[in-house]
Every structure is written in C-alpha cells, then in structure tokens.
Amino acid sequence: MFEPNSTIGWSISRLTMTAQELLAFLRTPKLEGNGWNRTGKPTDLIWLFAVNCMIVATIAVVLFPIMLAFDISMSSSMSDLFKRPVWQLLLIVVVVGPIFEELMFRSWLSGSPRLLIPFSGLVLWMALTYSYEQLGWAGPASMGTAILLALIAGAVLIGVIALWKRPVPNWYVRIFPLIFWIQALLFGSVHVFNYAGDNPAALLPFVLPQIVGGLIWGYARIRYGWWANIAMHMAYNLIATSGLVYILLTRPDVL
C-alpha cells in the first residue's frame, strides 16, 4: 500500500520493528545475551511509546463501553485527587506519581546489587512499619519509628557500599523472567484500588492498561536505562489525564 521509502512506509516499518523487538523480549525476558542490552538509542523510545499508546488505545476501545455498561466508577481517593487544582493534579499524576512508582517497581529491575539493596530496605521498612502498627509495640511511636528507620538506613548504606561494584547475581539472572512478569502484574494489580467496588477481583480486567505499562516500561528500563521508564510513564500519564485537565480548565462545572 505504501512505498517502503515513503514517510508513512518508513514509519510503519519502524513501528513494526519496535513491536517485534518488544514481543521477542516479552517471550523470553533476559538481562544479558540478547544482543542489544542497553544499546537502544534514546530517539528509539519515541517508537516504543507509540506502540505503548496504540496497545492501550485498543484495550480502551474494548473496556470503556464495559465500564459504562457496569457503571464502574473511580474510588473516593481518586475522585478527591481529580478535585484538586490543575497544577496539583499535574504535579501528582505526571511528576511525583510516576517517579515514585518507577522507583518502587522498576528502579531495581536491572538486578544491580547496589539497587537491589535499597529496594530490599524499602520493602523491609514497609513490612516492619505495618507490623509495628498491627502489633502496637510499646513506647512512643515516633521513637520506635525513628530507631527502625535509622537501623534500616544504616544497613542499606553499608550494603550499598560493600556491593557497589558487584555484578548482577547469577541467581537473579536465572529467575529474571519470573521477576519481570511479577513486577508488571503486581504493578497493574495495585491500580485496582483506583476503582470503586466491593470485589477487587472483578475489577482486574480494568487494570490491563497498567499491566501493559508495567511490561513495556520494564522493557524500556532494561534496554535504555533508568530514565527511559520514568519518561515514558510521565508522558503516558500526561496524555491519559489531558482530557480531564481540558475539562477542568474549560468546563469546571461539569465535574
């Protein structure tokens, strides 16, 4: 239909090649031995982002009518977020949220020990503080929290310094495909709380766009580096909220 050397033909070729490379990685996620690890050019990220948007748009075409049919609505916390001033909404959704989520779910995905240690410390901190609240340790909460944070921070600092130049552990390389898919599924699943409902399992289909994001942004993290997944996440959230921002600016009485 289109000449290979034409602008449209060249664009389709680039999109097709990008999609094929993504699918090849998703079939067998690897940290090494893939022939292109960390060799992707920053400009190539534009094509990957285009593939991301096309996949999510296709999913949205299917899910949006279902959401309307079953009257799926946002959770109260999400509704309150969208009632904030536009600048606060953009700051939280486009800047703070993507940075925090990418640090939590994919900053450590490369398997470098100096990144795995801080991530492990964060998980330990969250687990212990939750236990602290549930068990109701004796003594002032502020003192217990400060001591706990100091101990974990000290252990993380020692671990990072000791393992700064260590290569990716062999055990991590072996189980990387499992880790890669788990992080994407977990990332998508936590977004089920964006919707209101008494049965979270019934809402899981509506987090498919986030699961796709977890897969593609994880791929970007491995191929392009730590900045790529953050940039893609920010751009995605900006586009996803642009319609709402337009309404907030032009017709605030609608919301």
pLDDT value at residue 137: 55
H runs (alpha helix) in 70-169: 76-82, 86-90, 97-105, 113-135, 141-162
Residue spans of the chain under pLDDT 50: 1, 33-37, 138-139, 253-255
Token pair for 109: 């995905």
Q: Is 87 buried (19+), middle (13-18) or exposed (0-12) by CB count in 10 A?
A: exposed
d(CA 204, CA 187): 12
pTM value is: 0.82
Q: What SS3 state is found at 195?
A: strand
**Rounded alpha-carbon distances, angstroms, from residue 141 to 33, 125, 126, 133, 134:** 49, 15, 15, 9, 12
What pLDDT, in 10s, does the model give residues 156-177? Answer: 778 777 767 788 889 999 999 9
* pLDDT for res 176: 96
Tell me what the pLDDT averaged over the chain comes to: 81
Residue 74: phi and psi, rounded to 5, are -75, 155
Structure tokens at 167: 């290569």
Distance CA 191, CA 177 (A): 22
Q: What pLDDT, on the 0 to 100 scale, is given for residue 123? A: 77
Q: Residues 73, 65, 185, 200: is their CA dihedral positive or negative?
A: positive
